[in-house]
Amino acid sequence: MDDPWADSGPGDRLPARPRRNGEGRGRGDDQQDRGREGGSWDGGGGGFERVPPQDLDAEQSVLGGMLLSKDAIADVVEVLKGHDFYRPSHETIYQAILDLYAKGEPADPITVGAELTRRGEISKVGGASYLHTLVQSVPTAANAEYYAEIVHERAVLRRLVAAGTKITQMGYAADGDVDEIVNSAQAEIYAVTEQRTSEDYLPLGDIMEGALDEIEAIGSRSGQMSGVPTGFTDLDSLTNGLHPGQMIVIAARPAMGKSTLALDFARACSIKSNLPSVIFSLEMGRNEIAMRLLSAEARVALHHMRSGTMTDDDWTRLARRMPDVSAAPLYIDDSPNLSMMEIRAKCRRLKQRNDLSLVVIDYLQLMQSGGSRRPESRQQEVSDMSRNLKLLAKELEVPVIALSQLNRGPEQRTDKKPMVSDLRESGSIEQDADMVILLHREDAYEKESPRAGEADLIVAKHRNGPTATITVAFQGHYSRFVDMANT
């Protein structure tokens, strides 16, 4: 039915066979195939142009199966998008079938032909007779999902070819910083592997369906949390967990417990809920982090571990919790001088291989931009990194927690309480963050405070909900914060 040379994959080195005018073209072929700017001999001795990966037989069989069975439509729609078709006329037919199916109307050669006629597109697909040809070409509608997988695989290969071409062009153009070019190249490949080649914009009507689905899904959980849990009951009630695409900033003055709180979030994610998370620690080494995690989980005093004075009870509790801690999908990277480029590359790899659910960076002011061009100022550099972390959260669809230092503003106030304006070196951190949690402990300033052992998690910014101050207990000897009810 179709040109056998057109089925060659990107690894084959066979040229496309020259096609005479009109050869091999049938009804429905009057529109140029997607991605084919060449495909025929140039006639001038310049050689052949490759035909992008595709399988027109599979495309016709998919559409034929959908025209025969509404069950096939339900199967195919889970696999294919309209832009996965190589031939634009096939995408037009596919979209007409889906539109009829969505309205609960039958989708067969007659009704689809009528719909395309109403739209003025019937001639673009080769006429009504081509729809009947599609039905006759399919061996059985039961295999429609399998045919759809073939079409989808060819589409991924075409996107890979396009990404490779774009990367080649970027390399030859050498326009900009080398690290930025490498980062852009990685993003191109990541977009292919994650099939994230969607339209840049969508009409509100198309977006509303997804929003309603999310609302219904939340309702079906009967109020259960939809995001990554933090481990703190009141905070989870306020935020409904940490959500994909969010950038969360935990900020405090030095020695207030920022790293401890971030580890608590990671423990709740990976040890309690078995969701993969990663900690990029630019301050503590991996062994120190592991000791803190064990101390918090086993309730063994951290100074006992460090001083070698653990009791038999300590060892028993440690042995009891060790298997769960060891099996947790929690990854720790304590590489020094990590740049934003390196963090993005590592997170992409973890997302692909382990379905990453949470990223923790400790802490923002210790990061480096990584580019060869020096920023105008340290404030500009921190602003750029803050923005890149927000973009990372959106790209990977995971919550990203960034720890940040506060300036000396709290120490100049009577109550010592921090404010969002105290964020150090950059006002853009507040702007980029979806949530800002300010950590405050009165006993850090006044040892005899009546609130000794208490800490305030001040949710000073919450883009998707209310703000509040949540009081928790600080158990420094166990290197953890806990709900007040658990003290």
Residue 206 lies in a domain: no
> In the structure, what pLDDT confidence band is assigned to residue 7 with cuts at 50, 70 and 90?
very low
Q: Are residues 192 and 232 located together in one domain of the fold?
A: no
Distance separating alpha carbons of residues 14 and 16, to the nearest angstrom: 7
56 pLDDT more than 80? yes
**Count of CB atoms within 10 A of residue 50's CB?**
17
**Which three-class secondary structure state does DSSP give residue 344?**
helix
Indicate left, alpha or beta for 274 from its phi (over 0: left) and psi (-120 to 50: alpha).
left
461: DSSP letter: E
> In the structure, what pLDDT confidence band is assigned to residue 424 with cuts at 50, 70 and 90?
low
Q: Are residues 90 and 6 located together in one domain of the fold?
A: yes
pLDDT of amino acid 90: 95
Q: Are residues 239 and 194 located together in one domain of the fold?
A: no
Q: Are residues 258 and 174 located together in one domain of the fold?
A: no
Q: Are residues 287 and 154 located together in one domain of the fold?
A: no
Q: Are residues 191 and 316 located together in one domain of the fold?
A: no
> In the structure, what pLDDT confidence band is assigned to residue 88 with cuts at 50, 70 and 90?
very high
Residue 304 lies in a domain: yes
381 pLDDT more than 60? yes
Phi, psi of 278 (to 5 degrees): -135, 140
Q: Is the dihedral of CA 43, 46, 52, 54 positive or negative?
A: positive
pLDDT of amino acid 19: 38
> In the structure, what pLDDT confidence band is assigned to residue 269 with cuts at 50, 70 and 90?
very high
| pLDDT per position as a tens digit, 151-177 | 999 998 998 888 888 888 888 888 878
Query: And the tokens for 261?
Result: 């709180």
* Whether pTM exceeds 0.85: no
Side-chain-side CA neighbours of residue 3 (13 Å): 24
Query: And the tokens for 302?
Result: 């951290």
CATH number of the domain where residue 288 is located: 3.40.50.300
> In the structure, what pLDDT confidence band is assigned to residue 438 with cuts at 50, 70 and 90?
very high
Give the bridge partners for 455, in sequence order: 472
Identify which has the larger pLDDT, 199 or 70. 70
Distance separating alpha carbons of residues 264 and 268, to the nearest angstrom: 6
Distance separating alpha carbons of residues 447 and 132, to the nearest angstrom: 84
pLDDT of amino acid 26: 42
Over residues 285-314, the mean pLDDT reads 88
Over residues 190-199, the mean pLDDT reads 59
Whose CA is closest to 480, among 170, 264, 285, 193? Answer: 264
Over residues 263-286, the mean pLDDT reads 90
426 pLDDT more than 70? no
pLDDT of amino acid 108: 93
Residue 353 lies in a domain: yes
Cα 205–chain centre separation: 23
pLDDT of amino acid 198: 45
- Give the range of the structural domain holding residue 448, as residue numbers without chain letter: 225-486
Cis bond upstream, residue 201 (ω within 30): no
pLDDT of amino acid 443: 84
Distance separating alpha carbons of residues 148 and 71, to the nearest angstrom: 14
Distance separating alpha carbons of residues 267 and 230, to the nearest angstrom: 8
> In the structure, what pLDDT confidence band is assigned to residue 374 with cuts at 50, 70 and 90?
low
Q: Which range, of 8-12, 123-127, 364-368, averages the lowest pLDDT?
A: 8-12
CATH number of the domain where residue 80 is located: 1.10.860.10
Q: Are residues 300 and 156 located together in one domain of the fold?
A: no
Q: Are residues 272 and 184 located together in one domain of the fold?
A: no
pLDDT of amino acid 344: 80
Residue 71 lies in a domain: yes
Q: Are residues 269 and 173 located together in one domain of the fold?
A: no
Distance separating alpha carbons of residues 205 and 228, to the nearest angstrom: 29
Contacts of 425 by beta carbon, 8 Å cutoff, 6+ apart: 365, 378, 379, 382, 405
Alpha carbon distances (Å) from 329 to 38, 55, 440: 48, 40, 30
Q: Are residues 171 and 229 located together in one domain of the fold?
A: no
> In the structure, what pLDDT confidence band is assigned to residue 222 with cuts at 50, 70 and 90?
low
Strand pairing report for 454-462 and 435-440: antiparallel
Q: Are residues 132 and 246 located together in one domain of the fold?
A: no
pLDDT of amino acid 242: 92
361 pLDDT more than 80? yes
> Looking at the 3D structure of the chain, how many domains does it have?
2
Q: What is the dihedral of CA 52, 57, 61, 62, to 10 degrees?
A: -10
Q: Are residues 75 and 1 located together in one domain of the fold?
A: yes
Looking at every residue in the chain, the average pLDDT score rounds to 80
